[in-house]
Structure 1
Amino acid sequence: MERNTEKKRLKIKRKIQEENEPGKYVRLNKPGGSQDEGNKVKKFEKKLKLEKKLKKLKSEVMSSDNEESEVKTTELSPISQELDINKVLNQLNFDKPSIISGIHALFKILEQKKNENQLLDLDTPIFLLLSSFKVPICPARTVRLPLKHMLHDEDSTVCFIVSDVDGIIKKEHEKVAEYYEKLFIEKGVETKINKILPLHELKTEYNEFEMKRKLLATYDVFFVDGKISKYVSKHLGKIFYKKRRLPIPIRMEHGMAQKMKYAMLRTSINIQGHGNSYSVQIGHCHMKVMEIFENILTACEALAKEFPGGWENIKVVNLKTDLSMAVPLYISLKNPDEIQVPKIRGKRAKSCNVYSDELSTKNNSKVTVYPSGRVLVEQLSAKKRKRNN
């Protein structure tokens, strides 16, 4: 151990001498030296440590987002195809006849407006509208809920956003697409992918708002490589976020084909601490009544676990579309004073730490680096120097 430390000190001394007299190589045969050289070695070691910390902090700040504005997604897990209807009804205090009659009432409203608006020939989405007793205190996040029946059929168009490939020029988008086509065949992906969109093509050709809107209108489902999901969500912006069409992150590992199937059986809800109203899509107008009923039960069962405060915090559940009034399905008669405000803390990012150390390039000074990137240099007083010593 002593030999290794002495070797390190010798290397540092050589670096100091090369900085003072560039072009010359001074061989240090014996360890030790004068006191001035020892002080220079200590200062140089502190300088190296501080530079490493600064580089590490800079990379963490660039890669991570602000905790409050971060959009978090839950991992995809296998969905049980067996739904115990009676168990879920008792757990959520639902009444099966009232829910089915509510779905029939919504379809009657849609039939009345079908003659007035021809857009109902398309898949008009059906939403669950939720209202909570208390506004939760939590960071913004996107929760993906399981469904019994898929929202998209076999004719739905799929776009997969992939990262660039090492060894292939970024501008050659066709070669990147061919590479991933072969990879999907090797992974056994059965889902029909209509468009493979490389990251470089997304940044260059879909940078303007109009192009992003065309991309949103062209495809029904969006997938993205898990490595670049955070950057892609930021690049696509609020137009994808408001339409609940943010790309679903998929890890390009084993079991990729099964993960894509599970992802197609999911819907998303945006949970924020700014209000008590939330909406989640659970079907469309061309689905059957029992399919929508089973999707409602499956989504609400997951909401009881994922929603801040649990099912006790949910006051009203309505069923509606963009063209109809809300049809009530569930109303809670609990006393709001008995329910506490749910508080959820997000995971603290590594970049949230504050680093401080003695500044070697300026005497009696201290440098502090904050998560925002702000650097503060302080002149230490005599009292603070005594405390530090």
Structure 2
Amino acid sequence: MLEKNKIEGAVDAVLTLMKAKDDIGLVDLPKKIDLQFNIKRIPKIKHKNIPVELPTSIHYDLREVCIFVKDLNKKNREYDATVQHYEDLFRKHKIDSINKIVPIKALRTDYSLPSSKVQLAKAYDLYLGDSSVMGLLPGILGKIFYAKKKTVPVKVDLDAKDLKTVVDKAVNNTRCTLQGTGSSCLVTVAHDKMKKEQIVGNVEAACKQLMEQVPGGKSNIRNMYIKSTDTASVPIYLDTESANKVKLPAVKENKVAEFVDEITTVEGGKVMVRGDGQVIVLKDKKNKQGGKEKPKKTQGEPEGSENVEGSQEGLKVAQVAAEIMEDKNEELDAAEGKDIDENDVEVHDSDNSEDDDDVEKDDTVQTKRSKKVVAKSGKRQQKRKSLEGNDEVTVEKKKQKWTEVATKRESDKKLNKRSRKARKT
């Protein structure tokens, strides 16, 4: 149970530790006092802000505040008129806590580089954002701002009638951000320049509001501590009950609309456009030939085999292409003067078959080679024609050849390994 005397004792301990490590620099800035708590069950939510109203403001004079506003004139590249407009607006409502006004156009021009965004994230203590541009800020600022809780902009409505109350509420109070990824959470509730009674009041008010607004309620909070940046944590609350008794509220899943259509830039592919703007290219896993799935490549198959395995036409084309390459190689050999085995050539000439014995001995070697090449090419043409009409060639025979080649390669590799070992020994 949360008791006030425990909070007072913890505050005294933290202030004593802060004084022991007090290192005053050039500027005596207030040091934060944080409330840290752990939850039993992590809710399935992302970036949920829990506003915490404090009885005493945590704002101080040297605290720097930056605000992101919308552009008044989107066509004009200059944004000085926009800055002047909001300065007059804040002066009219007597708001003096804003130190920097940054329009969206300035973020896209002056702060477009990551290095400039990092400098902007380190320059100020608190960031506010107009409600009309809060949807644009995550895409413009990116993870440089949204990866850390302290740099996430706080939403304010600059069109409100009582503008001073809205801005003061955002500046003077604090908030707790639940990321949905870890069990530990941290929220700033005071600083060391405040009085002890003010610190105790802020801590007590923050604890009560968090116990009511955290998903699962008070039963989902395991412990609470008070700490500073340079001090150890001092406990003020502890709950030893099991996490199985915690009941989290149901979270509604937002179903995103999807639209699927064909795409011309990818063969056999489709494109899916989601409602959140995400575009996904879907590749068709089925082969266009007959709508069947592409066969899996077996071990030892040569490259490109998956294109000819599924059809007889692919086998014929592959065989014809191989024979054409052989013919070309033989023609090149003949042109270079290489020997061709006479046994591999059979000349079929019906008109001159009886005069083969009377061939003159004075014929040159080049003429004989050309006749043999022509005869062999004619024989291969006949063989190709027979293959076109032959339907007995099956995929199984082709697979058998591939497996033989693969086994031969494996045996050669084993022999090479053995020979290498023998050489080493």
Normalised-by-shorter TM-score class: 0.5 to 0.7
How many equivalent pairs are there?
Answer: 275
Partner of 1:245: 151
* Alignment-derived partner of residue 149 in structure 1: 56
Distance 1:332 1:295 in 2: 21
Structure 2 equivalent of residue 112 of structure 1: 20
Amino acid at match of 1:337: N
1:223 to 101, 124, 128: 128
User: Is residue 190 of structure 1 aligned with residue 128 of structure 2?
Assistant: no
d(CA) in 2 for partners of 1:233, 1:354 = 23
Q: 2:140 aligned with 1:235, yes or no?
A: yes
Give 1:338's aligned residue.
245
> Which of 193, 196, 214 is equivalent to 2:119?
214
Task: Give the TM-score of the pair, scaled to structure 1.
Answer: 0.62
Which runs of 5 or more residues in structure 1 are unaligned? Answer: 1-92, 359-365, 379-389
Query: Which of 64, 85, 94 lines up with 1:179 in the alignment?
Result: 85
Structure 2 equivalent of residue 323 of structure 1: 230
By how many angstroms is 1:99 displaced?
0.6
SS at match of 2:279: coil
Aligned to 2:200: 293
User: Given the alignment, which residue of 95, 104, 117 partners 1:199?
Assistant: 104
**Alpha-carbon deviation of 1:326?**
0.6
Deviation at 1:167, TM superposition (A): 6.6
Contact 1:244 1:268 in 2 (8 A): no
Identity value in percent: 27
Q: Which residue in 2 is equivalent to 1:263?
A: 170
Q: 1:277 aligns with which of 184, 187, 193?
A: 184
Q: 1 CA distance for matches of 2:34 and 2:58?
A: 12
Per-residue deviation, 1:296: 1.4
Distance 1:377 1:328, change over 3 A: closer
Which amino acid in 2 is paired with 1:249? K
Letter of the structure 2 residue corresponding to residue 217 of structure 1: K
> Is contact 2:51–2:176 with CA below 8 Å preserved after alignment?
yes
Structure 1 segments of 4+ aligned residues over 6 angstroms from their partners: 375-378
* 8 A Cα contact 1:139 1:346, kept in partner: no
The alpha-carbon deviation at position 277 of structure 1 amounts to 0.9
Cα distance in 2 for partners of 1:251, 1:273 equals 26
2:116 maps to a residue whose letter is: M
Instruction: Check 1:107–1:202 CA distance in 2 against 1; reply closer, same or farther (3 A cut).
Output: same
Maintained 8 Å contact 1:357/1:368? yes
- C-alpha contact (below 8 Å) 1:226/1:249 kept by paired residues: yes
| Closer, same or farther: CA 367–164 of 1 in aligned 2, 3 Å | closer
Q: Pick closer, same or farther for the CA change 1:243–1:272 going to 2, 3 Å.
A: closer
Q: How big is each residue's C-alpha offset from its partner over 1:85-124, in whole Å with a ceiling of 9 and x where there is no partner?
A: xxxxxxxx31111110100000111111115x75994222
Equivalent position amino acid for 1:201 in 2: A
Shift of 1:145: 1.9
Q: Alignment RMSD, CA only?
A: 3.1
Change (3 A) 1:297 1:119: farther
CA change 1:167–1:244 in 2 (3 A) is closer
Tell me the amino acid that sits aligned with residue 110 of structure 1.
M
**Aligned-partner residue type, residue 202 of structure 1:** L
Q: Could you tell me the TM-score, scaled by structure 2's length?
A: 0.58
**Per-residue deviation, 1:318:** 0.5
CA–CA distance in structure 2, aligned partners of residues 356 and 267 of structure 1: 45
1:353 counterpart = 2:257: yes
The Cα shift of 1:376 comes to 7.2
Asked if the contact 2:126/2:150 (under 8 Å) is kept, the reply is: no
Q: Does 1:161 align with 2:73?
A: no
Bigger Rg, which one:
2
In 2 relative to 1, CA 233–294 (structure 1 residues): closer, same or farther, beyond 3 Å? Answer: farther
Q: CA deviation at 1:317?
A: 0.1
Alpha-carbon deviation of 1:237? 3.4
Residues 1:202 and 1:94: Cα distance change in structure 2 (over 3 Å): same
Aligned partners of 2:26 and 2:21: how far apart in 1?
10
Letter of the 2:217 partner, please give it. G
Residue 367 and residue 221 in structure 1: after superposition, are their counterparts in 2 closer, same or farther (change >3 A)?
A: closer
| 1:291-313 CA distance string (max 9 Å, x none) | 11111122222212321111110
- Quote the offset at 1:328 in angstroms: 0.5
State how far apart, in whole Å, the 1-side matches of 2:95 and 2:209 are: 27
Q: Can you give the 5+ residue segments of structure 2 that lack an aligned partner in the other structure?
A: 263-269, 285-425
Aligned residues of 2:272 and 2:281 also touching (Cα < 8 A): yes
- Confirm or deny: 8 A CA contact 2:271 2:279 kept in the other structure: no
Deviation of 1:244 (Å)? 1.2
Where in structure 2 are the equivalents of 1:52-131 lying within 5 Å? Answer: 93-115=1-23, 118=25, 121-131=28-38
Counterpart AA for 2:84: E
